[in-house]
Amino acid sequence: MTRRLVVGGALAALCGVLFLSLQTEKPGWWERLWYPLKYEQIVRGHARNYDLDPDLLAAVIYQESRFKARARSQSGAVGLMQLLPSTAQGIAVHTGGSQFRVSDLYNPEINVRYGAWYLRHLIEKYRDERTALAAYNAGQDNVDRWRSDGGGIRFSETRAYVKRVEEVKEIYRRAYGADLRR
């Protein structure tokens, strides 16, 4: 009985050391386990089409929905990139869409296309990725007000969102490397 406890304890310690080592070293295969990349062709294609860093686009999707196409927030945001139907309807008009249905936002291809277009629009408007991410999270009206007041991001939730998307972007860059930029 004592021997079993010693062996069990040694195995548990070894597993703990191995886990901590992997968490510290963060090899690509390990990070891919924790940060999956679903809909890779869609992400890559729309990143290319809208001249976005594919790691950034993947990070926004991860942070918004964890790549769950059926995600819906309490505020009514829908799909992979958590677009509000009113925002998506405006994007549909700007991109030549003739008919818009909220159910379209559950379609990964449409959702990522609209979200990528919107992210590109925000980057062009603000000329700064961090500010664009803040607007993606908190809305353009809030960001415009903060900027006109000469201040930075006023919402702690939005500051955390921007920081987390930037961290996840670097994780995707390390984990998927050139594969995402093919």
Task: Report which listed range, 66-75, 93-102, 172-181, is most confident.
Answer: 66-75
| CA–CA–CA angle 80, 58, 50 (5° rounding) | 90
**CA-only gyration radius of the chain, Å:** 20
pLDDT digits (tens, 9 = 90+) for 29-72: 678 888 999 999 999 999 999 999 999 999 999 999 999 999 99
Q: Is the whole model's pTM more than 0.95, yes or no?
A: no
| 1-to-10, 129, 177 alpha-carbon distances in Å | 14, 59, 49
- 141, with CB counted inside 10 A (0-12, 13-18, 19+), is exposed
pLDDT digits (tens, 9 = 90+) for 120-173: 999 999 999 999 999 999 999 999 999 999 889 999 999 999 999 999 999 999
Active site residues: 64
| 35: three-class secondary structure by DSSP | coil
